Chain A
Amino acid sequence: MPPYAGPSAARPGDVAGVLRLLVYLVLAVVLMVLDHRGGWLRAARAQAEVAVQPLWWLAGLPSRAGTALREDAVTRTQLMRDNTVLRNALLVSGARNARLQAAAAENARLRGLLASAERGRLDVQLAAILDIDLDPTRQRLVLDAGSGNGVRIGQAVIDAGGLMGQVIATTPTTATVLLITDPDHAVPAVVARSGVRLMVYGSGRTDMLRAADVPLSADVRAGDVLLTSGMGGRFPPGFAIGTVGTLQPDDSRAFLEGQVTPAAQLDRGRDVLLLRGYKPVPAQAAASAMPLQPPPQAAVVPPAPQAARAGTEPAR
């Protein structure tokens, strides 16, 4: 061993160093276990995350600046092309909307005949995604709107395609969204075609969900569209969750397990919609009103690009 390498025998400082390491390791383990279990640490964590927000804002800056730059740099021809495409899209949506409105009117009439409970109005709020990469093993988003903008824990988050997730934590200026693809997330679902009820779990990947414990005899096929069932009261009924891909027997061979492609664009959009003012309907009304409702977001008015809020008319 070269002379500069230092003595190899244990020095008194070494033992102290190891002891200090052990103390820190134990501390870290205690923190991890407490955080894993949830509980009071969650509240402390929420407080601490308020202090962290300027960092999130800073980290999102390059992406925001890049977007602004790109938008400034688009050429006239590009704008004209976009304009044509959007005009066409608007026409198609308008036509679709008109048809849906007829269906909604009919629905309301039939509902009146049945004298069943009217569904609550659906209000949405537009929120921008703060473009930062959090821990890649967890499927979460940070929104650029917080409790100061009226975002509350438990709100459902959707985009044009369908359900994205729910708000799990808020600070005055940001909110954290747990995506439906997170392994910790589960959504009560219903098959649009047959009305079979399922649970859809996250898989940890952005492009796949898992429908677990599907009975072998259940009327579920590949290509079926899954909607939220409204059971549990967390999510309003009728939002698209995804499309069933393949169905395979699970490990126990007593049930099927389906791969579901999410309907929402979960990887990285720019804005999301937060559902406001959804009051879970009473259980018996939910049970009668559950199957086969047109997705309410069909009537969402395209909101102004930068507006923080956009009140919209419900589909009824």
Chain B
Amino acid sequence: MKVLVAVKRVVDYKVQIRVKSDQSGVETQNVKMSVNPPDENAIEQAIKLKEQGVASETIAVSIGDDKSQDVLRTAMAMGIDRSILAKTDQLLEPLAVAKVLKSIVENEKPDLVLLGKQAIDDDANQTGQLLSALLNWPQGCFISKLKIENNLLSISREIDEGIENLELTIPAILTCDLRLNTPRFASLPNIMKAKKKPLDVIDIGELGIDTTPKIKTIKVIEPPTRKAGIMVSDVKELIQKLKYEAKVI
């Protein structure tokens, strides 16, 4: 089974993001960038499948500028076999990303595509589902458990009411929740080995896909700040405040 993993380079989750004063977006210059956290779970799962002998080859794909090579190197340092950078300096909407991924999927012919369930920058939570529809493949979104037997995927997915268990045939798209696994550290020797692993760069222009954004961002602003209230001295005072001041109980 060939497994493809989509990886996005995003602002590191530990960074306190700042909105640019001209309201054009979030400051990303000189800011630490990393692999999107749920994508790390997708990478880990792909590597696990290879270790279990289920996957014969694992490939990581990223769409972005040249700097996205570092998330692909991280993926390979964790254990992914090879990677592809679909190079573009444009910021792509999820729909365009899905179309690019579709093109790569049609070329590479994987049996399974793993993605993180959502990117922590735009929080769109669409790409896996979009890709699934474009390919007309079954989708398993927000998975927290995966078992593969006889080319059948048994997944548990996290829904608002609890857990849903589904069975999918391959080829399929799965989007990974943070609870799927614990991503491994890339060890130094593996980082060294990863430098020799293949990283192919393709120009998005060569794929003949219209990636023009359909939605325009007018402005990006800070959310209204919530200020600290007061410290109460004891439970009695808290109840009084909640009952007679805030009137919420």
Decide whether A and B assemble into one complex. no
Chain A residues with a Cβ under 8 A of chain B: none
User: Footprint of A on B, CB under 8 Å?
Assistant: none
